[in-house]
Structure 1
Amino acid sequence: MNPVQFLILAAMAATAAATALTYNVAANERACFYSQVHQPGLKVAFYFAVQSGGSFDIDYSVSSPSLKVVLDGEKERQGDFVFTANEIGEYRFCFLNEMSTFAEKLVDFEIAVENEMRAELPIKQAGGSEQETSLFETSVHSLSGQLTSISRSQKYFRTRENRNFSTVKSTESRIFYFSIVEVLTIVVMAVFQVVVVQFFFTGSRKGFV
């Protein structure tokens, strides 16, 4: 295995645990998800975005194993956070839709526990100098950072697309129902005019004209 392949595998193995899900949070529901941290000092990444429902906002909270609040917020549309896990155990990530009485919220979220310690490549086995190894390592981690940035950009554009589609769909629905009401109003007015005309031109009512 050459140095580049080794470092790529090491970078891929840097993420200890990751979870990407889409969940429909019902009205008045509190939905919680858990992620295990096996050693202190690890970085935990938490991303979420409300794709549909209500005003595209939701309450959230992140708690440590000792139930200490790490992150929280109200009526947020999306969030992208990274924090250091100083405790070992289960971290709780909750979405609260308790302020909504009927609207469901579709939430995309991702939880990742990352180990930022870089694997060291043995110089003798690699067959190269320390400087070359350092360059390979820097390049791999630079590519890893760029991929993370691209992934976050894709999530952002996906969220914008879903929200714009929901807005267009809602506008089309309003236009449709407004058109139905307009047609019914025209029909009712036409029938009313026919009835009035018949009232003036039938039988004994002709003298009123």
Structure 2
Amino acid sequence: MALLSLSVLTSPVDATALTYNVAAYEKACFYTWADIPRKKISFYFAVQSGGSFDIDVEVDGPSQKQILKLEKERQGDYVFTANEIGEYSFCFSNGMSTFAEKVVDFEISVEHEKRPAQADQKEKGQGPQAQAEAMDESLFRLSGELGRIDRMQKHFKTRENRNFSTVVSTENRIFWFSLTESALIVAMSMVQVYVVRTFFSGSRRTHV
């Protein structure tokens, strides 16, 4: 089992993107820490190559509370609220595969929601602080839009990798099929020549 801890900082949006090779029968787990409640955690994953491009996924919260469980999924994009303080685990399991490893791209991002007190101050319009809050809110929304664009690009990248893998697999199948067909044709020709030579050789011996 592979273990990797993902640190969470204090910026409005903290994200970690990784690519990991999950071997056959391996279960790889990654962890992030929520230091305050009510944080939004975004989780995106996509199987880039290997087998049928599917994998089992489990997301657990503190005290082993299960948040998400998926079986044989190719990709997903989920957002949930971290209501508890503690460690959240994101596990990929390749137990269904006997020999094929899976290449998985995933991203875990933690977004800090606005506090109600900050929202009240913004609505009251209290001078420079309200302007700072408005700018912070704009940056927060911009960060969310950039995150969505980034996930969309990853989605297209995943489709491109899968299509390329399909093309390579088809080329390999055509190559081996053609090679096998050529070998069978040569073998059949040799057998036919042997049969014809044996037939005529036997005929000459009979007449003599």
TM surpasses 0.5 = yes
**What's the % identity of the aligned pairs?**
59
* Structure 2 CA distance for partners of 1:172 and 1:69, relative to 1, 3 Å: same
Counterpart AA for 1:159: T
Residue of 38, 45, 58 corresponding to 1:61:
58
Aligned position for 1:13? 11
Q: How does 1:139-178 map to 2 (within 5 A)?
A: 139-178=138-177
Return the offset for 1:68.
0.3
Residue of 57, 66, 71 corresponding to 2:68:
71
For the residue of structure 2 that corresponds to 1:66, the secondary structure is helix
Contact 1:14/1:117 (8 A) holds in 2: no
Could you report, residue by residue, the CA deviation over 1:106-143 in whole angstroms, capped at 9, with x for unpaired residues? 11111111112288798448xxxx6x778756654443
* Structure 2 CA distance for partners of 1:138 and 1:115, relative to 1, 3 Å: closer
TM-score, normalised via structure 1 length: 0.81
Aligned position for 2:81? 84
Q: Name stretches of at least 5 consecutive residues in structure 1 with no aligned partner.
A: 1-11
Aligned position for 1:22? 19
- How many residue pairs get matched? 191
TM-score, normalised via structure 2 length: 0.81
- Could you tell me how far apart the structure 2 residues matched to 1:181 and 1:114 are? 56
Counterpart AA for 1:113: V
Q: Which has the higher contact order (CA 8 A, sep 6+)?
A: 1
Could you report, residue by residue, the CA deviation over 1:151-182 in whole angstroms, capped at 9, with x for unpaired residues? 11101100101111111111111001001101
Q: How does 1:97-108 map to 2 (within 5 A)?
A: 97-108=94-105
